[in-house]
Amino acid sequence: MPEPSPTALLHSAFYRFVPLPDPVAAADALRALAHELTGSIVVAHEGVNGTVAGAADAVADFEAALQTALAGALRGMVFKHSACTTMPFGLLKVHVKPEIVALGLPGELPAPDENDASHLSPAAWRELLARGDVVVLDNRNHFEVRLGRFRGALDPQVHNFRDFVAYVQSRADAWRAAKRPVAMYCTGGIRCDKTAPWLRSLGLDVFQLDGGILNYFRQLPDAARDWQGECFVFDNRVALDTGLRETATTAEQVFDPSHPDEAWRLQRARRLDGSSD
C-alpha cells in the first residue's frame, strides 16, 4: 500500500490488551493526544481499543505519541491503516467502559494474548484454509458476514454475541471429536483475541488470523482469491474492498430493517451521515 500524502485522509485502527489501573486518567491522556483527529476510543481496565481518522501526518503524530503514553504500556502497538475518501467519523469520542470489547463470555478466562502461536500470518492463514479438516469460523455479526466472508466460512448467525457462544457450544463436542481445528477471524483481530481463550477452555485447537481481515487485505494483493464480497467497517465509509478501498455500498444495503438489531444500526447510520433526523 503506497504511503499517503501528509494531508490525505487516513484511518487507523488499533488495540492492546494491557492492565490499566486508572482507565479514567488513561482516557484523559488519550483524548488530549488525539485532539486533532476524529474517531472512537474505548478504555477499560483491560486495555485500549480505538479507531481514529484525520490527515495522515496528524495520525502519524498521534501514533508516535501513543507509543510513549501511559508509561509506555502501548509501545509496539500495531496500527492498521486504510485510506479514506469519506471522513469516517464526525467527532472524537473517548469512552471508559468495563471492557474494550464487550462479549459476555462465560466463566473466568485467561487474559488474551495478542502474540501467542495461534496467530497466523496472512500467508500461513491461506495455507490453513487449503486444508480439508479445518472449521473456518467467522467471528462477526450476521450482517457483516452477509456482506463478505472467507470462502467456505461458517456464519454463526450472530445478532447478539450470546448467539456466538450458543453456536460454538452446540458444535464444540463434534469438532473436538473429529479433531477439527478452528480457524477464527474477525475484522481487526480483537474479537478473536478475546474469544480464543474461551474456545480453548472447550478443548478446541484454535488458530487466528493475525491482524484480522484488514491485515489480510493489506498483506495480500490477491486477497480476492480467498474472499468473497466486501468487508464492513464500523464508520461512515460502510465497506471496503480487498484493496482497502471504499465501495459504493450504503447502510441501506447492509442492514435488514426487519430485524430489530439491524434496524437501530440503520437508523444510527442515517443519523451519522445526516440523512435522517
As annotated, the active-site residues are 186
Are 155 and 139 spatial neighbours (Cβ–Cβ below 8 Å)?
no
- The residue behind cell 473517548 is 94
- 77-116: string of b/e by CB count within 10 Å (b at 16+)? bebbbbbbeeebbeebebebeeebbeeebeeeeeebebee
Query: Radius of gyration (Cα) for the chain, nearest Å?
Result: 18
- List the 182-185 sheet strands across, edge first: 119-120, 206-209, 182-185, 135-138
Tell me the three cell numbers of residue 204: 478446541
DSSP letter for each residue of 186-202: -SSSHHHHHHHHHHHHT
Alpha carbons 14 and 70: distance in angstroms, whole number: 15
Alpha carbons 270 and 268: distance in angstroms, whole number: 5
Which secondary-structure segment (H or E) carries 63?
helix 56-68
Q: Where are the beta strands (DSSP E) in the chain?
A: 9-17, 38-44, 47-55, 80-83, 92-96, 119-120, 135-138, 148-150, 182-185, 206-209, 227-229, 231-232, 239-240
Rounded to the nearest 5 percent, the helix, strand and coil shares of the chain are 35, 20, 45
